[in-house]
């Protein structure tokens, strides 16, 4: 047997559930009610449902037994690929293993069973978690104040820019532009546009870092902020960050840091110390919440003390006059207002809180040591076999391209499919946009050397086959459940509805 889990053997076929079962087959039998068939009418005297809402025709509804239903959904779940099944090196996404102790914490009945409309006195523990988590995040980032309310990284960015906008508008200097390095995550220009700013591009220098001379040229008194990512999306640390902050501050602008990927910085350096004015974090990435497939997420926004009054409302504070009770404050006069119907995605706060407390300061510091080491280990092993566009050591993720494989007409997409045949989820591909044919590999700190070595071997095998037998890669995947898909048609004409025969 192969030592690595990979993918082979008992992988079940699974037709859509509408093609299973038999007419009249039932999941389970429930005893007849004392009122007979017309139970609802029997109870209420008349039907509680309008006639138009009652279905006359049941054709096409699924009629399966309990075991058929269970197997159907179990098979589908087994087709799902997640961090609990294998290595998931999706760059910029931090698909780290999520310790199960976090899940235990957020399933505690006293947390899982509460309602947002409950009286504050009955949810003191929950308010304390929000209050303390915000302070822990401030400690980790060196920022002055935080709000965990934004429901995702993108909403955290939106909140940060709204804060800058409101502050500048109050000063009578609203400004028009946001500077965006060409390596920025796509959500950054989207947030700038939503806040009614014009995006101004900034080219990265040949070393993959922000070119401070070009920044000096672009920065003016109409620019509200620069949005930068550090480490940037090339996996490189912006070394000139102090100088960048000085250039922007000198002209009255703000520096926004996209902290979605904090895995390389934990316990090493702090945005506050770099001169950052506002930033967001992704609790679902760095602070270990299962993610992918669309949420839920949490993207806390953090600011300097100067910008604290603008944070989203309500905020949780500790009422020193009434025995340190925790309470919501809804009436901060300068606040940008509420971003959510309630207080954000509370289950994720619990996971992040459990994660931070269970690791402690030393543990968080070890996270970045291992995350950076693992990424550099991969980079050093595949360098030469894959083209490395920026030849320096990386932070928590590394970027290679398909330039060498292009000579044999093998592309990044083919390499990604080749990894599927070898039992691995592909890395992020074709991002960042400034690297042609990019592969962005983020191993995270939670993987063993054996797993990482198996991934490296798969990458090296693909590089070798790209030369000796390129078709075996361009035809991949060959052993996966579905073969090469027509991605254009899938995107343009998605077939998402089952047609009853
Ligand atoms: C993931 C990510 C975001 C967006 O976060 P969402 O929670 O998906 O909205 C923003 N910036 C960077 C650098 C990211 O990696």
Mean pLDDT of the chain: 91
- The model's confidence at residue 260, banded by pLDDT at 50, 70 and 90, is very high
Average pLDDT over residues 264-269: 96
**What atom of ligand 1 comes closest to residue 285's alpha carbon?**
1
Average pLDDT over residues 212-240: 94
For a substitution probing ligand 1, which of 260, 291, 298 has the most ligand atoms within 8 Å of its CB? 260
Instruction: Answer yes or no: is pLDDT of 182 > 60.
Output: yes
pLDDT given at position 1: 46
- The model's confidence at residue 482, banded by pLDDT at 50, 70 and 90, is confident
Residues with Cβ within 6 A of ligand 1? 92, 152-154, 185, 187, 229, 258, 260-261, 282, 297, 299
Instruction: Answer yes or no: is pLDDT of 2 > 60.
Output: no
pLDDT tens digits, one per residue of 64-91: 999 999 999 998 888 888 899 899 999 9
Longest dimension (CA), the chain: 83
The residue whose CA is least distant from atom 12 of ligand 1 is: 260
The residue whose CA is least distant from atom 5 of ligand 1 is: 153
Q: Give the whole-angstrom CA distance, residue 73 versus residue 287.
A: 29
- Could you tell me the distance, in angstroms and rounded to a whole number, from the CA of residue 324 to the centre of ligand 1? 36
For a substitution probing ligand 1, which of 282, 348, 399 has the most ligand atoms within 8 Å of its CB? 282
Q: Could you tell me if residue 134 is left (phi over 0), alpha (psi between -120 and 50 degrees) or otherwise beta?
A: alpha
- The model's confidence at residue 436, banded by pLDDT at 50, 70 and 90, is very high
- CA 329 to each of CA 9, 130, 171, 310, 313: distance values in angstroms, whole numbers, following the listed order: 57, 13, 25, 13, 7
HEC-encoded secondary structure of 390-412: CCCCCCCCEEEECHHHHCCCCCH
Average pLDDT over residues 399-424: 97
Range of lowest pLDDT (4-18, 251-265, 347-361, 429-443): 4-18
Long-range residue pairs from 325-331, CB within 8 A, at least 24 positions apart, any chain: 325/120, 325/121, 325/124, 326/120, 326/124, 326/127, 326/128, 326/130, 326/131, 327/120, 327/127, 328/120, 328/127
Rg (CA), the chain: 26
pLDDT given at position 399: 96
Q: Give the whole-angstrom CA distance, residue 482 versus residue 498.
A: 18
Tokens representing residue 386 in the block = 């894959």
Residue pair 313/337 in contact (Cβ under 8 Å)? The answer is yes
pLDDT given at position 93: 94
Residue 227 forms beta bridges with which residues?
A: 256
- Residue 14 CB-density burial (10 A; 0-12 exposed, 13-18 middle, 19+ buried): middle
Task: Identify the residue with better confidence: 428 or 61.
Answer: 428
pLDDT given at position 45: 58
- Could you tell me the distance, in angstroms and rounded to a whole number, from the CA of residue 288 to the centre of ligand 1? 14
- Could you tell me the distance, in angstroms and rounded to a whole number, from the CA of residue 185 to the centre of ligand 1? 7
Q: Give the whole-angstrom CA distance, residue 178 versus residue 193.
A: 9
- Could you tell me the distance, in angstroms and rounded to a whole number, from the CA of residue 253 to the centre of ligand 1? 23
pTM of the shown model = 0.90
- The model's confidence at residue 29, banded by pLDDT at 50, 70 and 90, is confident
pLDDT given at position 279: 98
Strand extents, DSSP E, 340-435 = 398-401, 428-429
Range of lowest pLDDT (129-143, 329-343, 392-406, 476-490): 476-490
∠ CA(224), CA(272), CA(275), 5° rounding?
45
DSSP class of 383: B
pLDDT tens digits, one per residue of 209-222: 999 999 999 999 99
Average pLDDT over residues 322-333: 91
Residue 324 neighbours by CB under 8 Å, 6+ apart: 318
Instruction: Answer yes or no: is pLDDT of 105 > 50.
Output: yes
The residue whose CA is least distant from atom 3 of ligand 1 is: 153
For a substitution probing ligand 1, which of 148, 185, 235, 280 has the most ligand atoms within 8 Å of its CB? 185
Range of lowest pLDDT (28-42, 254-268, 417-431): 28-42
pLDDT tens digits, one per residue of 357-372: 999 999 999 999 999 9
The full length of the chain comes to 501
Q: How far is CA 416 from the centre of its chain?
A: 20
- Could you tell me the distance, in angstroms and rounded to a whole number, from the CA of residue 32 to the centre of ligand 1? 52
**What atom of ligand 1 comes closest to residue 184's alpha carbon?**
13
pLDDT given at position 163: 98
The residue whose CA is least distant from atom 6 of ligand 1 is: 153
Q: Give the whole-angstrom CA distance, residue 259 versus residue 301.
A: 10
Task: Identify the residue with better confidence: 322 or 472.
Answer: 472
């Amino acid at each position: 047997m192969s030592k690595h889990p990979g993918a082979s053997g008992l992988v079940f076929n699974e037709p859509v559930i509408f093609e299973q079962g038999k007419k009249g087959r039932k999941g389970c039998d429930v005893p007849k009610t004392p009122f007979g068939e017309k139970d609802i009418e029997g109870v209420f005297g008349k039907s509680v449902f309008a006639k138009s809402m009652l279905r006359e025709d049941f054709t096409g509804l699924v009629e399966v037994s309990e075991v058929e239903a269970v197997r159907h959904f179990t098979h589908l779940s087994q087709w799902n690929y997640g961090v609990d099944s294998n290595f998931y090196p999706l760059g910029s996404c931090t698909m780290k293993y999520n310790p199960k102790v976090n899940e235990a914490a957020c399933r505690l009945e006293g947390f899982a069973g509460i309602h947002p409309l409950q009286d504050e006195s009955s949810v003191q523990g929950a308010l304390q978690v929000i209050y303390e988590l915000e302070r822990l995040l401030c400690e980790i980032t060196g920022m002055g104040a935080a709000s965990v309310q934004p429901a995702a990284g993108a909403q955290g960015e939106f909140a940060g820019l709204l804060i800058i906008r409101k502050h500048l508008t109050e000063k009578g200097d609203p400004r028009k532009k946001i500077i965006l390095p060409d390596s920025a995550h796509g959500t950054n220009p989207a947030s700038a546009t939503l806040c009614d700013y014009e995006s101004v591009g900034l080219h990265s220098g040949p070393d993959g870092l922000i070119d401070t001379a070009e920044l000096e040229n672009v920065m003016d008194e109409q620019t509200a902020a620069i949005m930068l990512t550090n480490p940037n999306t090339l996996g490189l640390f912006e070394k000139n960050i102090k100088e960048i902050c000085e250039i922007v501050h000198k002209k009255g602008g703000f520096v926004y840091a996209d902290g979605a990927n904090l895995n390389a910085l934990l316990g090493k350096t702090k945005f506050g110390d770099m001169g950052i004015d506002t930033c967001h974090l992704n609790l679902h990435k760095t602070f270990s919440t299962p993610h992918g497939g669309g949420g839920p997420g949490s993207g806390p926004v953090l600011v300097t003390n100067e910008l604290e009054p603008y944070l989203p409302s309500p905020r949780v504070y500790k009422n020193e006059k009434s025995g340190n009770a925790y309470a919501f404050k809804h009436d901060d006069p300068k606040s940008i207002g509420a971003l959510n119907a309630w207080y954000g995605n509370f289950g994720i706060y619990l996971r992040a809180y459990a994660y931070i407390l269970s690791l402690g300061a030393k543990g968080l510091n070890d996270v970045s040591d291992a995350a950076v080491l693992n990424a550099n280990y991969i980079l050093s092993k595949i360098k030469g076999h894959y083209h490395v566009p920026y030849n320096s050591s990386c932070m928590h993720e590394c970027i290679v391209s398909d330039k060498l494989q292009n000579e044999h007409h093998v592309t990044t997409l083919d390499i990604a499919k080749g990894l599927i045949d070898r039992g691995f989820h592909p890395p992020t591909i074709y991002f960042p946009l400034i690297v042609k044919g990019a592969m962005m590999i983020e191993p995270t700190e939670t993987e063993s050397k054996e797993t990482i070595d198996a991934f490296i071997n798969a990458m090296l095998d693909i590089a070798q086959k790209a030369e000796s037998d390129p078709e075996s890669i361009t035809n991949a995947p060959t052993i996966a459940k579905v073969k090469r898909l027509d991605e254009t048609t899938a995107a343009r004409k998605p077939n998402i509805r089952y047609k009853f025969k």
